[in-house]
C-alpha cells in the first residue's frame, strides 16, 4: 500500500532558493512543504473546491513523506565562480497618471511610460537553480489514498504549474506505484533538513495570506473608485441639463439627478466604511513562516544481526574542514577546539554523553562523545592532512536527543542549511568546519569508509597505551592491553594484534608525528603506537581504541575488501 505525488520539472531544472533572501544556494530536492504550498496556492486561486480542501487536509495530516530524487548540480556561488546576476525591472509602477500633451520624453516617462518594463529601474537579482540528473521527483507515503480523495488530489496536481520560482514549470500527478525512495525521514543529525507540512498548515496559510480581508479591501476600493467616477459623470450631465433653466423648470430637471446622486453617495459611504475598517491601508498579507523541520538520510541496508558493533554508533556525524590546512601534530589542538565550540553552544545542563563528566564533575563511567580527525589516507599522494572531523556518538544515546542538541549547533535555524563554525584556539589554529552534506563527498569524508564491516583494522592515528611496560615481553603485554581495549568498547577479543610505529594504512603518519598524550594525575607522557587488529569475525566501526579514543587517537580503518582508493 503506497501512493505518491510525481513532479516533473519541464525545463529540466528547478529554480528555488534554499537560503531565503540571499538566493545563493539552489534548493534540491524540493521541500515537501514547498510542494504543499504550491498545491494550496492552486486551490486558493481556482475556486476553493471543498473536496480539494479535504484532500489537502488529508495530505497535511500524513507523516513526513519519503523522497525519490536523483542527484543534482547546483548553480551557486563558489570560490572561483560568482553566480550570474540579472538586472530585472522592479514591480512597483506608477498607475493612474495621464500622458501630457507635450512630446517631452522625460515627462512622458514620469507621467505614464514608467509602467513599461524598458523604462522601469533595474535591480540586481539572482536565480539559483538545481539541475538534476533526472528531472522527475516523487514524494512517497506508505499508505493508500482513498478513491474519494484520489480524484480531487489529481485535480489539484493538474492545476499546479510551477514550484518555487514562477519560471520553474512543473507537471504533477498522483501515482500508486512510485519508485523506491532515495531519502527517508530520520531522527538525530541528518544529511538533509527539509521543511514538511503538519496538521493545520492549510488554515495557517489562509490566515497568513489574509485572503478574505484582502479581497474585501480590494473590492471596496474598486467599488469606491467606480462610484466616484459615476458621480462625476452624473454631476456633469446634471449641470448640462439645468444650464439656462430657471425656477420650476430647473428644479424639475435637477430632481432625478439629485436622487441618483443621493443613492450613489449612500453606496459610496458604505464602501468608505469598509475602507475605514482597514484605516485606509491594504490589509497585511505576510509570507508564510517555514513549516516543521524534518531530517532525511539515505536508506541504509539493515546490517546482519550477528555482526558485532562497538559502543559507538556507526552513523557518525562528518564535518568537513576548510581554511588553513591541518596536519597530525594538530590532532589534540583540533579536537580540543571542536569540543570547546560544542560545549559553548550546548544548553545547560550539558549532557554527560557530551561532556564526559558527571554532574559532580567526576569522570563519566559510560561511553561519551568522541572527536575523530579524518586524515587524507589510503590514496595516491596521500599526505595525512586532516580533511574533516567525525563525531562518534555513543550507541546508548537516543537519536532524537542527539539531534535536539547537535542540530541547532550544526544548522541555521532559519534555512536549515549547514552553518559555518569557526575554530580558533587563540594562537595559531584557525579554520572553519561545516556539516558534510555533499551527495558524493571525498572518500575519506564518507561514513562508510570508517564504519563498514571488516575483520582486519589498522590505525590511522596511533593508539595510546594506558600504562608503561618493561622487560623482554613488554610488547606482548602492551598487545594484550590493546586487546583489552577492544573488549572495553564492546568488540570481541582480537585473534591477533600487532603494534608498530608505522601504520599499515598508506599515507598515515608515523606515530612520532603525533604529540604525546599526558596523564592528568602527574602530567606524565603516555606511550602511543600504531596497531593492526585481526578479529575472528567481521565487526562494524567506528573502531577507536586506547586511552585517547575520545580525543582522536586510536582511530582504525577497515582493511578487508577495500574499494578503489579515493581522496
Examine the domain organization and report whether 263 and 370 are in the same domain: no
- pLDDT at residue 95 in the model: 45
Examine the domain organization and report whether 385 and 500 are in the same domain: yes
Examine the domain organization and report whether 182 and 71 are in the same domain: yes
CA distance 339 to 492: 29
Examine the domain organization and report whether 499 and 428 are in the same domain: yes
- pLDDT at residue 83 in the model: 57
Q: Which of 160, 178, 209 is the last residue of a domain?
A: 209
- DSSP letter string over 464-511? EPSS---STTHHHHHHHHHHHHHHHTTPPPPSEEEEESS-SSTTPPPG
Q: How far apart are the first and last CA of the chain?
A: 43
Examine the domain organization and report whether 154 and 258 are in the same domain: no
Cβ contact 298:182 at 8 Å: yes
Q: Which domain holds residue 470?
A: 300-558
Examine the domain organization and report whether 136 and 236 are in the same domain: no
Neighbouring-strand partners of residue 14: 130
Q: Is residue 447 part of a domain?
A: yes
Examine the domain organization and report whether 362 and 383 are in the same domain: yes
Cβ contact 55:174 at 8 Å: no
> Mean pLDDT per segment of 10 residues, for the chain of length 567 residues?
90 86 83 94 91 95 94 57 65 49 56 62 77 94 89 95 92 92 90 92 83 78 88 87 82 86 89 82 74 87 72 93 88 92 90 89 88 92 92 92 91 87 85 88 91 94 86 86 92 93 92 87 85 94 92 92 48
Examine the domain organization and report whether 186 and 219 are in the same domain: no
Task: Give tens-digit pLDDT for 280-332.
Answer: 777 776 677 777 899 998 887 665 557 889 999 988 999 999 988 898 888 99
- pLDDT at residue 19 in the model: 76
Examine the domain organization and report whether 163 and 71 are in the same domain: yes
CA distance 15 to 564: 36
Examine the domain organization and report whether 446 and 473 are in the same domain: yes
Residues in the chain: 567
- pLDDT at residue 565 in the model: 42
Q: How many domains does the chain have?
A: 3
CA distance 34 to 24: 18
Q: Is residue 416 part of a domain?
A: yes
CA distance 104 to 93: 20
Among 495, 504, 544, CA closest to 314: 544
Q: Is residue 536 part of a domain?
A: yes
Strands of 283-345 (E only): list them. Answer: 292-297, 308-309, 317-323
Pairing of strands 370-375, 72-75: unpaired
Q: Is residue 245 part of a domain?
A: yes
In the block, cell 587563540 appears at 426
- DSSP letter string over 58-117? HHHHSPPPEEE---EEEE---SS-PPPEEEEE-S----SPPPPSS--HHHHHHHTGGGSG
CA-CA-CA-CA torsion sign (320, 325, 328, 333): negative
Q: Phi/psi zone of residue 20: left (φ > 0), alpha (ψ -120 to 50 degrees), beta? A: left
- pLDDT at residue 214 in the model: 75
pTM score: 0.74
Cβ contact 319:191 at 8 Å: no
CA distance 551 to 333: 9
Examine the domain organization and report whether 364 and 501 are in the same domain: yes
Output the nine-digit C-alpha cell for 61. 495530516
Task: Give tens-digit pLDDT for 11-55.
Answer: 999 988 887 767 778 889 999 999 999 999 999 989 889 999 999
CA distance 142 to 60: 15
Q: Which of 277, 309, 325 is the last residue of a domain?
A: 277
- pLDDT at residue 112 in the model: 55
Q: How many helices (H) and strands (E) does the chain have?
A: 12, 25
Spell out the long-range contacts of 436-441 with Cβ–Cβ below 8 A and sequence spacing 24 or more. 436/318, 436/319, 436/320, 436/388, 437/191, 437/192, 439/71, 440/71, 441/318, 441/320
Q: Is residue 84 part of a domain?
A: no
Examine the domain organization and report whether 122 and 167 are in the same domain: yes
Burial profile 266-300: b = 16 or more Cβ within 10 angstroms, e = fewer: ebbeebeeebeebeeeebeeeeeebbebbbbbeee
Q: Which of 192, 209, 226 is the last residue of a domain?
A: 209
Q: Is residue 283 part of a domain?
A: no
Q: Is residue 332 part of a domain?
A: yes
Residue 290 CA neighbour count, 13 Å, CB half: 17
Output the nine-digit C-alpha cell for 281. 491601508
Amino acid at each position: 500500500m503506497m501512493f505518491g505525488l510525481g513532479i516533473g520539472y519541464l525545463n529540466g531544472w528547478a529554480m528555488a532558493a534554499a537560503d531565503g533572501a540571499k538566493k545563493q544556494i539552489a534548493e534540491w530536492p524540493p521541500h515537501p512543504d514547498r510542494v504543499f504550498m504550491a498545491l494550496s496556492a492552486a486551490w486558493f486561486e481556482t475556486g476553493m473546491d471543498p473536496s480539494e480542501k479535504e484532500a489537502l487536509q488529508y495530505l497535511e495530516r500524513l507523516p513526513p513523506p519519503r523522497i525519490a530524487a536523483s542527484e543534482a548540480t547546483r548553480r551557486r556561488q563558489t570560490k572561483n565562480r560568482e553566480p550570474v546576476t540579472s538586472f530585472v525591472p522592479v514591480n512597483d509602477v506608477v498607475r493612474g497618471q495621464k500622458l501630457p500633451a507635450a512630446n517631452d520624453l522625460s515627462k512622458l516617462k514620469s507621467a505614464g511610460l514608467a509602467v513599461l518594463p524598458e523604462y522601469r529601474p533595474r535591480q540586481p537579482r539572482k536565480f539559483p537553480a538545481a539541475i538534476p540528473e533526472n528531472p522527475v521527483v516523487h514524494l512517497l507515503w506508505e499508505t493508500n489514498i482513498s478513491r474519494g480523495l484520489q480524484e480531487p488530489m489529481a485535480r489539484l496536481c493538474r492545476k499546479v504549474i510551477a514550484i518555487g520560482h514562477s519560471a520553474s514549470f512543473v507537471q504533477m500527478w498522483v501515482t500508486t506505484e512510485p519508485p523506491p525512495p532515495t531519502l527517508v525521514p530520520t531522527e538525530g543529525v541528518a544529511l538533509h533538513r527539509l521543511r514538511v507540512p503538519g496538521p493545520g498548515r492549510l488554515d495557517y496559510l489562509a490566515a497568513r495570506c489574509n485572503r478574505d480581508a484582502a479581497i474585501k479591501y480590494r473590492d471596496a476600493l474598486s467599488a469606491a473608485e467606480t462610484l466616484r467616477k459615476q458621480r462625476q459623470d452624473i454631476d456633469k450631465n446634471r449641470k448640462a441639463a439645468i444650464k439656462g433653466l430657471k425656477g420650476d423648470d430647473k428644479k424639475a430637471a435637477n430632481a432625478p439627478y439629485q436622487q441618483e446622486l443621493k443613492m450613489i453617495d449612500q453606496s459610496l459611504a458604505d464602501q468608505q466604511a469598509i475602507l475605514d475598517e482597514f484605516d485606509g491601508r491594504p490589509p497585511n498579507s505576510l509570507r508564510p513562516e517555514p513549516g516543521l523541520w524534518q531530517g532525511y538520510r539515505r536508506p541504509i541496508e539493515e546490517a546482519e544481526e550477528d555482526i558485532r558493533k562497538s559502543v559507538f554508533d556507526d552513523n557518525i556525524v562528518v564535518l568537513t574542514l576548510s581554511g588553513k590546512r591541518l596536519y597530525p601534530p594538530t590532532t589534540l589542538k583540533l579536537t580540543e577546539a571542536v569540543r570547546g565550540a560544542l560545549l559553548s553552544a550546548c544548553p545547560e545542563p550539558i549532557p554527560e554523553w557530551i561532556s564526559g563528566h558527571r554532574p559532580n564533575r567526576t569522570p563519566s563511567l559510560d561511553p561519551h562523545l568522541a572527536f575523530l580527525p579524518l586524515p587524507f589516507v589510503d590514496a595516491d599522494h596521500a599526505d595525512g592532512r586532516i580533511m574533516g572531523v567525525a563525531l562518534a556518538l555513543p550507541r546508548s544515546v537516543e537519536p532524537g536527543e542527539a539531534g535536539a542538541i547537535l542540530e541547532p549547533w550544526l544548522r541555521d535555524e532559519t534555512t536549515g542549511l549547514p552553518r559555518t563554525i569557526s575554530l580558533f584556539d587563540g594562537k595559531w589554529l584557525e579554520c572553519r568546519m561545516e556539516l558534510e552534506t555533499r551527495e558524493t563527498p571525498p572518500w575519506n569524508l564518507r561514513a562508510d569508509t570508517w564504519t563498514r564491516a571488516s575483520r582486519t583494522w589498522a590505525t590511522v592515528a596511533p593508539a595510546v597505551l594506558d600504562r608503561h611496560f618493561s622487560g623482554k615481553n613488554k610488547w606482548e603485554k602492551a598487545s594484550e592491553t590493546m586487546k583489552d581495549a577492544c573488549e572495553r568498547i564492546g568488540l570481541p577479543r582480537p585473534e591477533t594484534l600487532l603494534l608498530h610505529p608505522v601504520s599499515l594504512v598508506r599515507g598515515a603518519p608515523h606515530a612520532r608525528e603525533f604529540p604525546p598524550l599526558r596523564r592528568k594525575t602527574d602530567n606524565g607522557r603516555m606511550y602511543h603506537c600504531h596497531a593492526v587488529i585481526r578479529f575472528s569475525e567481521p565487526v562494524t566501526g567506528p573502531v577507536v581504541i586506547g586511552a585517547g579514543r575520545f580525543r582522536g587517537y586510536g582511530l582504525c580503518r577497515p582493511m578487508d575488501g577495500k574499494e578503489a582508493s579515493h581522496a
